[in-house]
Structure formats: C-alpha cells, structure tokens
Amino acid sequence: MNVELDRHWENQSAVNEFVLLGFREHPMLFFAAFLAIYLTVLLGNGLVVIVTTRDPALHTPMYFFLRSLSGLEVCYTSVTLPRMISSLATGDHSISLEACASQMFFLLFLGGAECFLLGAMSYDRYLAICLPLRYMTIMNQRMLIGLVSGCFILSLPMQLVQIGLIFSLPFCGPHEMDHFFCDIPPVLSLACADLYTNKLVVYMENVIFVLAPFVLILTSYVRITKTILHMPSVMGRRKAFSTCSSHVIVVSLFYGSAMLVYLRPKTTDSIKVDKLLSLLYTVAIPLCNPLIYTLRNKEVKAALKRLLSNK
C-alpha cells in the first residue's frame, strides 16, 4: 500500500511544467501579428471605454453594458496574448503548473462573466424594445451595477471548483500541449487519472455558463423580433433592428465558437481544431468588438468625433 502511494505521489510530481507548442513555426511572423492584434485590442476597446465614459450623451444603460464588455475584453485578451507574445519573442514555451492554473482560472472566470454579460445585454435590449415605458424605471443605476457585478460574482465559485479539480489530478505523462494557452481540453488530455468527475463538472459548467445564457438570449430576441415586426413605422423597425444587430453578431461568434470547443464530442483531432477555434473567441472577437459596435453605431461615431475635435 505504501509503495503504491509513493508511486502515486512520485508520478504526480513528475511533471511540474507544461510546454505550449502554440505557433512555433515562423515565430517572428506570429510575434508581429499577435503584437499588432493585442495593441489594436487595447486601443479599440480602450477607446470605447473612454468615449462612452466621457460623453454624457452615452450615459445610458446600453452603453454602460458596452463599456463593461470592452473593459472585460481588455482583461480577457491580457490573460493569453502577452504570454504568447513573450514566448514567441524568447523561444521559451514552458509554463509552470501554478502559472498554468492561474491562466486557466482567469480565462474561465472572465469567459464565464462574459457569457452572463452578453445575456444581461440581451435582457437590456428586450426591456428597451418590448417595455419602453418601463425601461428607465427598471434599468436604473442600481440595477445596472447589480447585473454587471453579478456576472462576475456568479462566475467566481464555479471556476474555483473547476481549477481545484483539474490541478489536483496527477500529470505523469507527456507535458507538451498543442495549444497556445492553458485550456481545459488540452490540460485534461495530459492527466493520467480517471476524468469522469472532471468531465461531469465541465458539462455542468457548460450548461450554466453557455446554454443557460444562450437560452435567455434566444428567448429575448424571439420576443424582440415579434415586437419589432408589429411596429407600424418602417424607420422604427430599422432603428430597433440596428440597435440589436451588433449584439447578435457578437453573440453568434462568441457562443458559436465556445459551443464547438466545449460541447461537441471529442475526437483524435479535437485538440488541433480547438486551438484554431479558440483563436476566434480569445483573439478575433475582442479585436472585432469595437469595430462591430462603433462602425454600425452613429451615436458612438458622433461621440468619437466630438472627443477628437475637443482634443
């Protein structure tokens, strides 16, 4: 019995770091590309935060949520891209177990908060279009702060449980991951233990963080669509569709890629496919969000012009 325990702990401590293979071919090319993307994400989302904060015309619930989403995107990309850029520049692709656990926690924590935040934004659009007379009464400052704070508070305990379960597993085999950050599927593929409990928790979290907000969003937009179609004014319908279209695009991209990574059945090629799909929700969406919300929004463009003219 003691021999078995010794072997267990010996195996458990056999791997104390992982190697993220990521994009090791043409490192300088990827270094330049991801550095440019990261700076663009910071600039684009930072501008959205500044413009929606400084312009009084944008001090409305919709832009409060947009400001929160842009700030969250900055944090979200900062979890993965700086380390990846550093690895490409130095050639050091190793990451300790502790750093891997920290990276995964913040990625899941912020990702879960974003799922809830996108759901809260759909609820906001539902109130604005379907219950316009009660909108400002319901969506007051206290409600706004409560909804955004709740998105982060609800995400925290589940992710702590998830990380605790994953990194209590023994890692005694290969330590290389064909990925560019510590995500659940590639890390679990390196564990040498029964993964039934871990997989069960992963699916439970998918139901809570992905399916539940998605159902809320879908229900909200079904009711929004019905309300818009019954509007007598063509201009009113166009304006209502315009205010919702940007959010629908972001939701489709974010939830589509997340569902493909975490909900589809795993095969031998899943890790490679997951790596490509994860670029969509960790890099492409934070990069495109400012463009989606500003280029299609006359109020934000007008506010940006006012800010630049004042400068």
Predicted pLDDT of residue 14: 63
Residue 7 lies in a domain: no
% the chain with pLDDT above 90: 43
Residue 165 neighbours by CB under 8 Å, 6+ apart: 197, 198, 201
**Got the DSSP string for 86-154?**
HHHHH---EEEHHHHHHHHHHHHHHHHHHHHHHHHHHHHHHHHHHSTTTHHHHS-HHHHHHHHHHHHHH
**Got the DSSP string for 238-280?**
HHHHHHHHHHHHHHHHHHHHHHHHHTSPP-TTHHHHHHHHHHI
Q: What is the mean pLDDT of residues 178-188?
A: 89
The CA distance from 162 to 108, in Å, is 9
Closest CA to 128 of 236, 250, 290, 6: 236
Contact 62, 124 (CB under 8 A): yes
Q: What is the mean pLDDT of residues 211-229?
A: 90
Residue 158 lies in a domain: yes
Tens-digit pLDDT profile for residues 88-136:
999 888 999 999 999 999 999 999 999 999 999 999 999 999 998 999 9
The CATH number linked to 188 is: 1.20.1070.10
**Is the pLDDT confidence value at 259 over 80?**
no
- Domain of residue 256 covers 27-310
Q: What is the mean pLDDT of residues 226-255?
A: 82
Residue 213 lies in a domain: yes
Exposure b/e, 69-103, CB count within 10 A at least 16 = b: bbbbbbebbbbbbebbbebbeeeebebebeebbeb
Predicted pLDDT of residue 295: 67
Least confident of 42-46, 185-189, 307-311: 307-311
Structure tokens at 189: 């593929």
Model confidence band, residue 268 (pLDDT cutoffs 50, 70, 90): low
Residue 208 lies in a domain: yes
Residue 19 lies in a domain: no
Predicted pLDDT of residue 8: 46
Predicted pLDDT of residue 49: 93
Contact 287, 44 (CB under 8 A): yes
**Is the pLDDT confidence value at 296 over 70?**
no
Residues facing residue 18 across a β-bridge: 95
User: What SS3 state is found at 20?
Assistant: strand
Predicted pLDDT of residue 6: 44
What residue type is 214 in one-letter code? F
Contact 48, 67 (CB under 8 A): yes
**Is the pLDDT confidence value at 2 over 60?**
no
**Is the pLDDT confidence value at 156 over 50?**
yes
Residues facing residue 297 across a β-bridge: none
Tens-digit pLDDT profile for residues 30-45:
999 999 999 999 999 9
Residue 46 neighbours by CB under 8 Å, 6+ apart: 70, 74
Residue 125 lies in a domain: yes
Q: What is the mean pLDDT of residues 215-222?
A: 91
Residue 275 lies in a domain: yes
Predicted pLDDT of residue 235: 80
**Is the pLDDT confidence value at 46 over 90?**
yes
The CA distance from 122 to 251, in Å, is 10
Predicted pLDDT of residue 11: 46
Model confidence band, residue 5 (pLDDT cutoffs 50, 70, 90): very low
Q: What are phi and psi of 131, to 5 degrees?
A: -130, 60
Number of domains in the chain: 1
**Is the pLDDT confidence value at 246 over 90?**
no
Residue 85 lies in a domain: yes
